[in-house]
Amino acid sequence: MSGQTPDNIHLELVDTHAHVSFPQFDHDRDRIKAQLESGELSMLIEVGTTVEDSLRAMEVFKGVKNVLLSVGVHPHESDGLDDRGLETLKSLLKDRQVVAVGEIGLDFYRDLSPREVQKSVFLKQLEIAFSFSLPVVVHVRDAYEEVYEILRRFKGLKGVIHAFSGGPAMAGRFLELGYYLGIGGPITYRKNDGLREIVRLTPIEKLISETDCPYLPPVPFRGKRNEPLYVRYVVEEIARQKEMDIYTCSKQLMYNAKELFTPDL
Ligand SMILES: [Zn+2]
């Protein structure tokens, strides 16, 4: 174990945003499953980005302890979603392991699907989440204003703004709507004082821990593949910013994840 924490303290490590069914994990996915079965990782939410990989994620993690699933179509992939795809998504939501719709949203930075298509696909999936009373996992890049204006129309819908990268004013507006902020590896980046400030300003009850693995590895793993257990470095930094001990912080983050994703359990 690293950091200042004694080995004998059990941390509740929760990664609410992972893509372990991606090919980058083909050679060692079993090791990650074993960490989940043993409780070394307390909870993982595997997040789909297309209908196909949502289906693959369900296959890969069927029955694996401590794993929940979110299914949905990423804004980059919006262009490929037809009515049949939407029907398939709806049918997946009936599975007991599926607890959320995502990742969905708008990405006007990379613009890999036309903006109008992204908006329409985002709306359709929000309607589905709303009708199933499920939380949403929202991806936003260069479209905070647009996403905010859309989400505020869905009163009562809950969710997380994954990999939050907006400013304090925008953070405040999403918190006011009842959304959580998803915090991952970028909080450890030297130049990211802005995100550390957001974390200090946000009540700990509204933060959600995540990795987005295989992407966004924390320090000291930059340039390498990220993986769920590295969420520990995120939790350590959140604890530092909130001036909490890491054990209490990890428990609170676990509680938050349960509140959002499994309120009935
Ligand atoms: Zn993601």
Taking only the tens place, the pLDDT of each residue in 90-124 is 999 999 999 999 999 999 999 888 999 999 999 99
Split at pLDDT 50, 70, 90, the class of 2 is very low
C-alpha–C-alpha distance, residues 187 and 241, integer Å: 10
Mean pLDDT value of segment 146-156: 97
H helices present in 39-191, as ranges:
51-61, 83-92, 115-132, 144-151, 168-177
The per-residue pLDDT for 7 is 56
* pLDDT at residue 1 is higher than 50: no
**Interval 35-86: pLDDT, tens:** 999 999 999 999 999 999 999 999 999 999 999 999 999 999 988 899 999 9
Residue type at position 86: L
| Distant-in-sequence, close-in-space partners of 246: CB < 8 Å, separation ≥ 6 | 3, 4, 5, 11, 235, 236, 239
Ligand 1 centroid – CA 211 distance (Å): 8
Closest CA to 211 of 247, 186, 180, 238: 186
* pLDDT at residue 4 is higher than 60: no
Closest CA to 179 of 215, 200, 154: 154
Ligand 1 centroid – CA 77 distance (Å): 12
Q: In the CATH hierarchy, which top-level class contains the domain 14-261?
A: alpha beta
**Ramachandran region of residue 42, left (φ > 0), alpha (ψ -120 to 50) or beta?**
alpha
CB 73 within 8 A of CB 53: no
Phi and psi torsions of 202, nearest 5°: -90, 135
* pLDDT at residue 3 is higher than 90: no
Ligand 1 centroid – CA 54 distance (Å): 12
The per-residue pLDDT for 30 is 97
**Interval 198-229: pLDDT, tens:** 999 999 999 999 999 999 999 999 999 999 99
CA-angle at 115, arms to 111 and 119, nearest 5°: 125
Phi and psi torsions of 257, nearest 5°: -60, -40
The residue written with tokens 């590895």 in the block is 217
**Domain spans, the chain:** 14-261
C-alpha–C-alpha distance, residues 74 and 71, integer Å: 10
Mean pLDDT value of segment 172-200: 98
Ligand 1 centroid – CA 214 distance (Å): 9
* pLDDT at residue 161 is higher than 80: yes
Split at pLDDT 50, 70, 90, the class of 10 is confident
| Long-range pairs of 243-252 with CB within 8 A, sequence gap ≥ 24 | 244/204, 246/3, 246/4, 246/5, 246/11, 247/5, 247/9, 247/11, 249/204, 250/11, 250/12, 250/13, 250/14, 251/12, 252/204, 252/205
The per-residue pLDDT for 6 is 56
Split at pLDDT 50, 70, 90, the class of 8 is low
Ligand 1 centroid – CA 48 distance (Å): 8
Ligand 1 centroid – CA 61 distance (Å): 17
